[in-house]
Amino acid sequence: MTELRFKKTTEFDEEVYAVHPEDYRALLEALKAEGFDYPRSLTGMDTGYGLRVVVHLYGMESGKKATVYTDVPYDDPVVPSATDLWPGLEWFEREAYDLVGIRFAGHPDLRRILLEEDWTIHPLQKRYDTGGYLLPDWQPAPWPETPPWEEPEAREEGGEA
């Protein structure tokens, strides 16, 4: 997994991986091979500068927990689907598409799940208020100069030197 672009941290009792969207799928495959066989949850969320997918995994044998997340921009919110690795994520990905607007490439049946099929918006995005109306003065934050999967040592080492 050395060539994959990700940053691994430990938060509470979980391993948290922030991963580059292009390596998201490869990292999930590696984790699946490591024994994370149980899909606990998948969350889509709006970070203010883009959309984020968070996958919560659990190893039935090892009892280990892992969280993987990646960010994609608003104008191209596409991540590869992981339903073939964990079929249990099928509805979770549909929900993340429905409510947050993330598109999962390769998903077998990416339809809206909780909302009616004629909805045009994804209401959990921050640009909408609780009633589903566009917030007039909402502006996306700029894409971070150091995305979560890069953030780490480089900057700190530079500071120390």
Partner 1 sequence: MRGPTTITPVPGRTDEMILNMGPQHPATHGVLKVVLGLDGERITRAVPHIGFLHRNHEKIEEARTYIQIITYTDRMDYVSGLQNELPFILAVEDLLGVEVPKRAQYIRVIFFELYRIASHLVWLGTGMLDLGAITPFLYTFRDREKILEIAEKTAGARMLPNYFTFGGVRRDVHPEFFKDVAAFLDFFESRLPDYRALVLDSPVFQARAVGVGVLPKERAIARGASGPVLRASGVAYDVRKAEPYDAYPELEFEVPTRPEGDVYARFWVRFREMEESVKIIRQALEKVPKTGPYKGKVPPRIKPKPGARYRAVEISRGHLGAYVVSDGSEYPLRIKHRSPSFANLQLIPDLFVGARFADAIAILSSLDPVFGEVDR
152 is a site residue for partner 1 (CB under 8 A)? no
11 is a site residue for partner 1 (CB under 8 A)? yes
Nearest to 41, CA basis, from 96, 99, 111: 96
Our CB check for partner 1 shows the closer of 58 and 161 to be 58
Our CB check for partner 1 shows the closer of 119 and 160 to be 119
Our CB check for partner 1 shows the closer of 2 and 130 to be 130
Instruction: Report the C-alpha gap between 70 and 143 in whole angstroms.
Output: 13
For the chain, the residue count is 161
141 is a site residue for partner 1 (CB under 8 A)? no
Task: Choose the binding region for partner 1 from 20-28, 60-68, 136-144, 150-158 (rule: CB under 8 A).
Answer: 60-68
Our CB check for partner 1 shows the closer of 2 and 10 to be 10
Token pair listed for 20: 């580059």
Please list, in sequence order, all residues whose beta carbon lies within 8 angstroms of the beta carbon of residue 19, skipping any fewer than 6 positions away: 4, 5, 6, 7, 27, 68, 69, 70, 149
Nearest to 67, CA basis, from 33, 39, 95: 39
Our CB check for partner 1 shows the closer of 21 and 39 to be 39
In Å, what is the CA distance from 98 to each residue of 50, 67, 83, 133, 149? Answer: 16, 22, 16, 16, 26
Amino acid at 76: D
One of 33, 78, 114, 141 touching partner 1 (CB under 8 A): 114
37 is a site residue for partner 1 (CB under 8 A)? yes
Task: Choose the binding region for partner 1 from 22-30, 70-78, 117-125, 136-144 (rule: CB under 8 A).
Answer: 117-125
Task: Give the binding site for partner 1 (CB under 8 A).
Answer: 11-14, 37-41, 43, 45-47, 54, 56, 58, 60, 63, 65, 67, 86-92, 95, 99, 111-118, 123-124, 130
